[in-house]
Structure 1
Amino acid sequence: MTSSSLQKKAVPTSLSTHGRPFEWAISAGGVLYTAAAPIKDDGTAETGDIKLQARLTLSNLAATLAAAGGSMADVTQVMLYVTSRSFIDPITEIWAEAFPTPYPNRGTVIVSEIGIKDVGMLIMAHAYLGKG
């Protein structure tokens, strides 16, 4: 399969990249590859309570999925990156509200820092949206 047969394409989102060379979401072969972070509509980061960050991050993920023609039910796997072990349980509480069952497979990694100053979480998600 050649790269042109995958029909890799960017999925437009309202999230700012601040001019950096990346896309928040790429679709290829019926799979959506995306990252989500607690980024507000004005392009600034939510740096408050981790539950606020989780709600905004998951809301951004849902909006990206909708822009790609999918929903939270289509998410198959997520990697959750957090800067503190104490964030895992509060995020999991919000997680259970955001995703329908069966929940996506999830791995969690504790890191010293996210690439956005004072942000405590980032997720990388894959969603199956059908034949590409």
Structure 2
Amino acid sequence: MPTQKKLPPEQRKLLDLYSMLDEQNRLSLMAFAEFLSARGVEETKSEPEPLQTFKPIPRPESESVVKAIKRLSESYFMLERDQMFSETSSLMMAHVMQGRGAVEVIDDLEALFERHYQRYRDGD
């Protein structure tokens, strides 16, 4: 019998919980995990674009909530993600856990990022 590396208790618990979920909830958990991991990746930009030439990345015809968050984070790279985490997480959870539609959640995410961008421009 091959020896297996023992997982730390928190990883074992996560795997146990994952194995108890149905397929839809597994997909939701994976989407949320992708969202959480994306917020930890800090991109380095050399020089930010001048405010007057800023143009967000256009929204594709169909897009997942996770991909929308990644697109908006890339577009609005100058914003502090920690300041928006609570609101972004709430919207993501409404989609994943409560079944709120992706298009509606993405609309709200775009409004959230735009609102924070306007505060950034105004110096708040």
Structure index of larger Rg: 2
Name the structure where helix makes up a greater proportion of residues.
2
TM-score by shorter chain over 0.5: no
TM-score normalised by structure 1 residue count: 0.27
Name the structure where strand makes up a greater proportion of residues.
1
TM-score normalised by structure 2 residue count: 0.28
